Structure 1
Amino acid sequence: MEKKINYSQTEFISKDENDDPVFISNCEKIIRKYLQLWKPRELFITGVNSIFDSRWATEEEKLFSFGSHGNELSISLFHPNIVSSTSIYQDSYRGYYIPCKVSDYIKKRKEGEYRLFEVYYSPLKQYYFPAINNGLLAWYSKNSLIDNKGTLMFHYTNGMEIKILHVTLNKNENWNVFESLGALKYDIQKIIDN
């Protein structure tokens, strides 16, 4: 029997004062739909301080292998200075996603297999974790009220394949789909409209 997952009860993105609520709401709809389709065990949501174009969607090298330095989780792709926050969610046996503290996640991953690197310039140890094998990495752009557009991007792996999605939403289009890579604009727009 397949478990039912209630995605609609969780808000995955925490809104800031410079985030347009309609943009965030549309991102939430897209996130929930792809959670329903792909059913990842782990979900990572990262806020990026600027808009990013679709060329980032094709960057896959070492994407699902990341690590920690002290209590900071480093997910490759964007420079840490433009990342504003990362939230982690894990699927629950009760059928929904539950938040996980970054520090708890790091501790859990350290207990598993890892390679330890000590750097001479820091008293903190740096850990590189093995790749996740059933996870969805989602990035969204912050400051949509200021920029008048926003981007959302997914990288998903089930251990055997990688799927990507990059969507640009535009305020001039009432926060509807302006561009899409990895799915048809029409299909993404249907998700927003429902």
Structure 2
Amino acid sequence: MEINENAALVVVDVQKGFEEEFWGRRNNPEAEENIAALIDRWQETGRPVVFVRHDSVEGSRSPLRTGYVGNGFKDFVEERRGKGAGPELLVTKRVNSAFYGEPDLDAWLKGSGIGQIVIVGIQTNMCNETTARMGGNLGYDVLFPLDAMHTFDLAGPFGWTQTAEELTRATAVSLHGGRFARVVSTREVLEGAAAR
């Protein structure tokens, strides 16, 4: 797999609030380890890293609300911020897509001549998927390492429920089959982004 020398790693919403029972049962306990490995590879090779933080409205019950401890990045992410040899950007948002945050992610990527993005983080079928769909629509080559993210069981309409694993599989099939993104593994991305 070819990873561009200036491919951006987009680390979505890896925040402490997702550790709370509020969300229910999650999948993929290896997600954090894989996210950390990708951040480390990007930083050691001087590639750009975008850290995205979801700022839920203050006063809401969300564990990601502004001013609450859950709004902060998980420790393993916070410890890595500012440590890379390449460019770094912090994007804050209040909706699912990182492309609707501040500052404007699309403008920053295009201004930096970046055409390839790798999306990791939380949640697979929510902010990660929405960001990947928009990235594909905007013309980016989007890579989606499925084992570097996780999600939670979810209830929907008509009494339907889906497990985190079922939601992950549906996201993978929709993104890959619909050509919004290439669904890959962390190992493939790490190998493709080996030191230059």
Query: Which has more helix, going by share of residues?
Result: 2
TM over 0.5: no
Larger radius of gyration: 1
Return the structure number with greater strand share. Answer: 1
Relative to the length of structure 2, the TM-score reads 0.31
TM-score computed with the length of structure 1 as normaliser: 0.31
**Bigger RCO (CA 8 Å, 6+ sep):** 2
